[in-house]
Amino acid sequence: MSREATIRQILVITDGCSNIGPDPVEAARRAHRHGIVVNVIGIVGRGDAGEQGYQEAHSIADAGGGMCRIVQPADISATAQMMTHQTMQMTLQQVVNQELLAVMGKSAEDLPPADRARVMQVVERLEDEVALHLVVCLDTSASMRDKIPTVREAVRDLALSLKVRSGPLAVSVIAFPGKGEEATRLVQPFSSEVNVAALEAELVARGGTPTGPAIDHAADLLLSYARNVDEDAPRREFG
């Protein structure tokens, strides 16, 4: 395990249920089969629609091998950073455990405390060094109108928090729905920086909530990027 390893994640930020296109739970399951982890931040709503949205958010994260948190708008930024880092740790711990089982026939939990502490040091080092490819999927349906400024700041803060790592970072941003009849639109292609101007211009509330197409679009972006990046130095995929 080294700097040549790559973790791929999708982060969905939404305030409601998908009502356009394919099932988002199945989309998350497809993504996870390709080694992509899908995390979901659900923004607090009210009534039956809110409860249905919570259930869908948790189901998406379960199918995508990720985490789900339901939060107030003011907590989106801190939650996005926490989830991204915790999911990286979980993924790396799984990989380390797999290698320990293959080599020693035991997992980290079975090791003496001193050895277990050394394993955790390895995980922490890897979290700092591995490449992270992240697609943020932003719900910009009509109900998100008042929340978009907060979401915009959360995405910027997340990218800044990840830049302190020594490992390579590539962040892309998708908004859903797209313009006209499009289910999604690409706000920013993969970059080590978040384009604040693009977030200002492109995040406009409109229409319904095509969460499934957004997850499919994000997975396609990650898989395409993986094929094109560092072709002369293939990375090991974690997921």
Domain ranges of the chain: 5-238
Asked if 144 contacts 157 with a C-beta cutoff of 8 angstroms, the reply is no
pLDDT of 236 reads 55
Using CA atoms of 34, 179, 11, 61 in order, give the dihedral in degrees to the nearest 10. Answer: -70
Which of 12-16, 111-115, 214-218 reaches the highest mean pLDDT? 214-218
% pLDDT > 90, the chain: 55
pLDDT of residue 174 exceeding 90, the answer is: yes
One of 3.40.50.720, 3.40.50.410, 3.40.30.10, 3.30.1490.440 is the CATH number of 5-238, namely: 3.40.50.410
Name the residue type at position 135. Answer: V
pLDDT confidence band for 196 (50 / 70 / 90)? confident
Six token digits for residue 184:
């999604």
pLDDT of 7 reads 92
Q: State how far Cα 6 lies from the chain centre.
A: 13
Name the residue type at position 207. Answer: G
For residues 92-114, give the mean pLDDT: 81
User: How do 36-43 and 65-71 pair as beta strands?
Assistant: parallel
* pTM, full prediction: 0.89
Interatomic CA distance for residues 86 and 83, integer angstroms? 5
